[in-house]
């Protein structure tokens, strides 16, 4: 939605004109400022502004502040009819596969009654880029009609009132005390097409099924469990199991009944085993959020969405898992350790603070436990999977690019995981994306650290360890992947090589050229070559940011294909779909095509995407 289309009640209220340093010497009207989560007046003095977002680099902190806000502009406009994107550079290749690039993410952060929400609690807004012929790309975008969306949006007046808090937010313009509408399934985190179904996933509930041709919402998809008994036998769990089972039984009526939490929380990150043509999903129990024991259920489906495998594991630790890995014979869990914050929990129950404030990061250990869970049959004959491998570094795992295992001639098993991870000292539930729930505002400085502290930020890492034939861990190491040390996230590979030894990995990364935004938002795509141990990059350019890259295969080679990524040109309020030649990243002609999303359909930063090739 364009800023000048905002109703008066939605426009941010600032003194007019905003005063910034006079050396900037430019002006732009307040009507051009978008409605983001909530934009405070910069803490500066005297300037007049007049050109839309052409703030010079005299004071980069001011431009950086506004650039960051424009990444989270609410978009209320939907387009059910495909809109052809304008080609502004290059051409769509004749050999580009037919299919659709789906991008999930939040679309709305502010209602019409004074409440704002964290980006993770923003209503799911599904974007679709449709490649049906070799000359054009069409665009569609629709809100996922979740139960929360239908309750909070009035279609007659096209107005919104947030009534659910969401795990990361509080309500400024709504009822706080006694408001138990907490687990707000907004279906905004990831998207998947499998077995003829298009699903939008969230971290704490059932996926929502979407009609691919129209993006209409079909409804909740509850077929993950395949009709299996929820309380089927699980493996593991030893210390104090009886007590914690008793505590869990006491919590269930409160969590399921009062707070309306689903018994099982399906994680938003799934895996596709391309070698077996299987979809892998993982869930945990609702009560795990509050207890020092964790239940994980892994599911494997064939191409028709028929359940083939289901395995449950109980781990005696308090964990928060967002992403995970698999190899040919194992599921791999990096044990992000958390703890209950009683003071925060009291505020969360009362509605004075977000529900997530009841949890804190557990920094008590200097190592990171990694659990190797057997995919098939029984566990290793001599190794107890309940005993984790201790990685010699305190890593909070964010996202996995790939993992694989290799057996050497002596029968030892070598594991390697390529992922993004950060320090426990940087990760903070209350400050993700720089959102301050007390003020409802965004602060980009929280996501950026200068000097030696920048080493705490998300990085690409290679975790390696070897298991001997008798199951003993003989060696273990953590190192920067290809020695690439710039802040990075969203690692991905050619999906046809998932679970196999990969030679290439792609990720969003930062050039670090802006003093005020040295690490996030990302402004480059990096391609890491594990054969030559090199890194090559493509840069979006000045005041242009990028989201998650997605690989589109076109041939048999691992880097034979294209990389799709959305570019957010905040300085001119535009979104572009970029098509990069994977083999040419790092060269001057890596850009194959740039397609412009119409300004009135400009959308906020997305989370995770999926390439669905046409049958």
Least confident among 129-138, 210-219, 489-498, 504-513: 129-138
Cα angle value 361/366/372 (rounded, 5°): 85
SS3 451: helix
Predicted confidence band at 379 (pLDDT cuts at 50, 70, 90)? low
Does 164 carry a binding-site annotation? no
Residues 64 and 156 reside in one and the same domain: no
164 and 33 part of one domain: no
Stretch (H or E) spanning 151: helix 147-152
CB atoms within 10 A of CB 258: 11
- The band of 347, judged by pLDDT with boundaries at 50, 70 and 90, is confident
* 227 Cβ neighbours under 8 A, 6+ residues apart: none
Pair 55, 109 in one domain = no
Confidence of residue 432 (pLDDT cuts 50, 70, 90): very high
pLDDT (mean) for 10-14: 29
Give 158-174 pLDDT, tens digit per residue: 999 998 888 898 887 65
Picking from 69, 96, 121, the residue at the C-terminal end of a domain is: 69
Question: Where would I find the H helices in 253-380?
Answer: 342-350
Asked whether residue 236 falls in the same domain as residue 344, the answer is yes
Q: Which two tokens stand for residue 177?
A: 């005390």
Task: Tell me the C-alpha distance between 596 and 579, whole Å.
Answer: 12
Q: 48: pLDDT confidence band, cut at 50, 70 and 90?
A: very low
Q: What confidence score (pLDDT) does residue 245 get?
A: 57
Give the rounded percent of residues in the chain with a pLDDT score beyond 90: 61
81 has a pLDDT exceeding 80: yes
pLDDT at 234: 53
Name beta bridge partners: 159. Answer: 154
Under DSSP, the state recorded for 457 is S
Examine the pLDDT at 22 and tell me if it is beyond 50: no
Pairwise CA distance, residues 140 & 126, whole Å:
8
Contact status, residue 512 vs residue 518, Cβ threshold 8 Å: yes
> Which residues lie across from 376 on neighbouring strands?
none
Task: Indicate the pTM of the whole model.
Answer: 0.88
**Which residues pair with residue 338 across a beta bridge?**
361
The residue range of the domain holding 49 is: 3-69
Instruction: For residue 67, give the nearest of 514, 387, 506 by alpha carbon.
Output: 514
322 is in an annotated binding site: yes
- Please check whether residues 60 and 122 belong to one and the same domain: no
Phi, psi angles (nearest 5°) of residue 178: 80, 5
239 is annotated as contributing to ligand binding? no
Q: Residue 46 has what pLDDT?
A: 28
Task: State whether 125 and 19 are in the same domain.
Answer: no
Q: Decide which of 69, 96, 127 is a domain's last residue.
A: 69
Q: What is the pLDDT of residue 198?
A: 98
- Looking at the predicted structure, is the pLDDT value of residue 257 above 70? no
Q: How far apart are CA 432 and CA 203, in angstroms?
A: 15
Last residue of a domain, one of 51, 69, 87: 69
Q: Are residues 403 and 449 in the same domain?
A: yes
- Of 456, 463, 461, 447, which is closest to residue 388 (Cα–Cα)? 463
Average pLDDT, the chain: 84
Instruction: Please check whether residue 544 is in contact with residue 597, taking contact to mean a CB–CB distance below 8 angstroms.
Output: no
Q: Can you give the pLDDT at residue 180?
A: 62
Q: Do 179 and 58 fall within a single domain? A: no
Find the range with the poorest average confidence among 487-491, 499-503, 570-574, 578-582: 570-574
pLDDT for 258 equals: 55
Q: In the prediction, which pLDDT does 544 show?
A: 96
Q: Could you give the 3-state DSSP secondary structure of residue 582?
A: helix
Q: Is the pLDDT of residue 229 over 50?
A: no
Q: What is the mean pLDDT of residues 479-507?
A: 97
Q: What's the pLDDT at 261?
A: 65
The number of distinct structural domains making up the chain is: 2
Distances (CA, A) of 87 to 84, 525, 604, 612: 9, 21, 21, 22
Q: What is the mean pLDDT of residues 253-281?
A: 81
- Give CA torsion, residues 543, 544, 545, 549, to 10 deg: -160
pLDDT at 344: 79
Please compute the mean of the pLDDT values over residues 217-229 and round it to a whole number: 73
Cα–Cα distances (Å) from 15 to 18, 21, 29, 40, 52, in that order, read: 6, 15, 12, 11, 18
Give residue 17's pLDDT. 29
pLDDT for position 595: 98
Angle formed at CA 211 by CA 205 and CA 217, multiple of 5 degrees: 50
Average confidence (pLDDT) over 227-238: 46
Query: What does the pLDDT read at residue 466?
Result: 94
Confidence of residue 265 (pLDDT cuts 50, 70, 90): confident
Structure tokens at 582: 């994977």
Domain identity same for 212 and 333: yes
Best CA proximity match to 324, nearest among 376, 277, 284:
284
42 and 88 inside one domain = no
Asked if 562 and 488 sit in the same domain, the reply is yes
Number of C-beta neighbours around residue 438 at 10 A: 11
Whether 378 and 467 share a structural domain? yes
What pLDDT sits at residue 439?
Answer: 84
Query: Does residue 603 contact residue 129 with C-beta atoms inside 8 Å?
Result: no
Round to whole Å and give the CA distance between 268 and 192: 10
């Amino acid at each position: 939605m364009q800023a000048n289309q905002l109703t008066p009640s939605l426009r941010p209220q600032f003194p007019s004109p905003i005063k910034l340093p006079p050396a900037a010497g430019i002006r732009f009207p307040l009507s051009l400022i978008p409605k983001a989560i909530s934009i405070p007046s910069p803490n500066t003095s005297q300037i007049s502004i007049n050109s839309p977002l052409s703030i010079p680099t005299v004071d980069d902190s001011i431009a950086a502040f506004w650039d960051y806000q424009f990444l989270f502009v609410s978009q209320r406009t939907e387009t059910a009819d495909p809109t052809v994107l304008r080609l502004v550079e290059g051409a769509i290749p004749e050999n580009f596969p037919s299919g659709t690039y789906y991008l999930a993410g939040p679309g709305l952060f502010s209602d019409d009654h004074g409440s704002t929400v964290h980006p993770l609690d923003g209503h799911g807004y599904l974007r679709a880029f449709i490649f049906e012929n070799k000359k054009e790309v069409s665009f569609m975008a629709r809100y996922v009609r979740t139960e929360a969306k239908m309750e909070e949006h009035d279609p007659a007046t096209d107005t919104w009132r947030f009534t659910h808090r969401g795990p990361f937010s509080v309500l400024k313009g709504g009822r706080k005390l006694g408001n138990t509408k907490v687990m707000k399934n907004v279906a905004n985190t990831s998207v998947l097409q499998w077995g003829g179904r298009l699903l939008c996933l969230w971290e704490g509930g059932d996926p929502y099924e979407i009609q691919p041709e129209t993006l209409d919402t079909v409804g909740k998809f509850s077929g993950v469990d395949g009709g299996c008994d929820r309380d089927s036998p699980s493996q593991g769990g030893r210390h104090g199991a009886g007590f914690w089972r008793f505590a869990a039984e006491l919590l269930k009526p409160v969590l399921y009944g009062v707070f309306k939490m689903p018994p099982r929380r399906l994680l938003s990150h799934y895996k596709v085993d391309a070698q077996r043509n299987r979809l892998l999903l993982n869930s945990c129990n609702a009560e795990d959020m509050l207890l020092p024991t964790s239940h994980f259920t892994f599911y494997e489906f064939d191409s028709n969405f028929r359940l083939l495998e289901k395995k449950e594991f109980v781990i005696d630790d308090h964990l928060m898992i967002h992403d995970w890995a698999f190899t040919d014979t194992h599921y791999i869990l990096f044990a992000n350790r958390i703890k209950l914050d009683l003071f925060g929990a009291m505020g969360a129950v009362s509605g004075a603070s977000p529900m997530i404030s009841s949890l804190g990061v557990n920094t008590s250990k200097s190592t990171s436990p990694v659990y190797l869970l057997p995919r098939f049959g029984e566990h290793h004959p001599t190794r107890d999977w309940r005993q984790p491998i201790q990685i010699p570094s305190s890593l909070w795992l964010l996202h996995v690019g790939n993992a694989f295992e290799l057996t050497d001639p002596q029968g030892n098993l070598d594991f390697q995981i390529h992922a993004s991870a950060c320090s426990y000292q940087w990760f903070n539930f209350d400050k993700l994306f720089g959102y301050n729930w007390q003020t409802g505002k965004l602060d980009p400085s929280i996501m950026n650290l200068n000097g030696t502290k920048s080493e705490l930020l998300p990085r690409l890492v290679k975790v390696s360890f070897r298991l001997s034939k008798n199951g003993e861990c003989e060696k273990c190491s953590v190192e920067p992947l290809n020695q690439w040390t710039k802040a990075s996230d969203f690692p991905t590979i050619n999906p046809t090589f998932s679970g196999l030894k990969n030679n290439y990995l792609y990720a969003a990364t930062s050039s670090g050229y802006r003093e005020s935004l040295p690490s996030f938002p990302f402004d480059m795509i990096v391609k890491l070559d594990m054969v030559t141990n090199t890194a090559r990059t493509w840069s979006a350019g000045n005041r242009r940011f990028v989201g998650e890259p997605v690989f589109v295969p076109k041939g048999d080679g691992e880097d034979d294909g294209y990389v799709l990524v959305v570019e957010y040109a905040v300085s001119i309020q535009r979104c572009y779909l970029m098509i990069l030649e994977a083999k040419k990243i790092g060269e001057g002609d890596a850009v194959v095509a740039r397609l412009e999303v119409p300004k009135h359909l400009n959308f906020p930063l997305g989370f995770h995407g999926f390439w669905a090739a046409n049958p």
